[in-house]
Chains A and B, each alone.
Chain A
Amino acid sequence: MSATLPRRIVKETQRLISEPVPGISATPYEDNFRYFNVVIEGPESSPYQQGIFKLELFLPADYPMAPPKVRFLTKMYHPNIDKLGRICLDILKDKWSPALQIRTVLLSIQALLSCPNPEDPLNNQVAELWKADEDRAIANAKEWTRLYATK
């Protein structure tokens, strides 16, 4: 594998493993150290509680000048996550800063599960229900968590 993996990426990876974030794991694939297998636990007192969500993350050539690419592999019922697992989150786009890290990105994604934002939707159908009938939307999110994200 690449002998010239940037020091920044090596440091971040070592720290992810030596001081893991509670409820989040990120492990590089052995044949591509820029590609991570990620698991996020659903935050407590959210509809995603007790869910185990799989994601994938890739550090592109221009990281950290450009944000990581990350998406859910587990089916999600969430107004800011589309059917292909793509995530609508400002720090993954125009609000990215090289001062952010893999760790902060994953924490922000976990926080997004606690605070869905139907005013800035990526999945319009889910967002409409979230605004019209929040109880039913939350029930759907719980149901999908049970169906697709349990251990």
Chain B
Amino acid sequence: MWPGRAMSSPNRTAAAPPASGSQQDEIIVPRNFKLLEELDQAEKGQDPTISLGLQNQEDIFLVAWNGSIFGPPGTTFEGRLFELKIECGDRYPNEPPFVRFVSRVNLPCVDQSTGVVNSSKLHILSHWDRHFTMERVLNELRREMMTQGSRRLPQPPEGSRF
């Protein structure tokens, strides 16, 4: 189309599932700018039940994040702060982030020896869409704590870690 055009972008969208119909002209927000938007949103801190931030303020590629979830009231998670580590690789957001609890927690979707969130057991990760956000993942995990099956689960001692 024009001479001297650049190589593929660092996160190639070509590898994404083929666009269909009306999605064909969809504007793709590149990985880094999407993560900067997520950071802006997180810095506004409008949702008091979760928090999100970079692990290192100089992480120019915005890979490693800290998340936290405040245990929902009326559940065995109540009154506790659950810390998580989130990693957004090169292929984010075409692929979901890697999510791991640091604070020990008893939840069906969390591996009890490593704290890793099993992406096949959390709907938002198994049905990932590039428009989803880390904030949404944290919210979904918080909702998991409120389901009938989880809200009364006995929890490990407060402050214990994976």
Contact = CB atoms under 8 A, between A and B. Distances in A.
Nearest to A34: B27
A145 to B, nearest CB: 16
A34 B26 CA distance: 11
A2 B25 contact: yes
Contact of A31 (B14, B57, B59): B14
Given A30-B6, A30-B8, A2 B24 contact: yes
Interface in A39-93: 56, 58, 60-61, 69, 71, 73, 75, 83-86
B2 A13 contact: yes
Contacts of B26: 2
Interface residues of B, number: 27
Given A3-B24, A17-B2, A61-B27, A29 B8 contact: yes
B62 A84 contact: yes
Interface string A115-126: 000000000000
Interface stretch (B28-36, B45-53, B105-113, B124-132): B28-36
Contacts, number: 74
B149 interface: no
A86 B32 CA distance: 12
29 contacts: A2-B26, A2-B27, A3-B24, A13-B2, A17-B3, A17-B4, A27-B4, A27-B5, A29-B5, A29-B7, A30-B6, A30-B8, A31-B9, A31-B13, A31-B14, A35-B28, A37-B7, A56-B32, A58-B30, A58-B33, A60-B27, A71-B36, A73-B60, A83-B57, A83-B58, A84-B39, A84-B58, A84-B62, A86-B36
Interface of A: 2-4, 13-14, 17, 27-32, 34-37, 56, 58, 60-61, 69, 71, 73, 75, 83-86
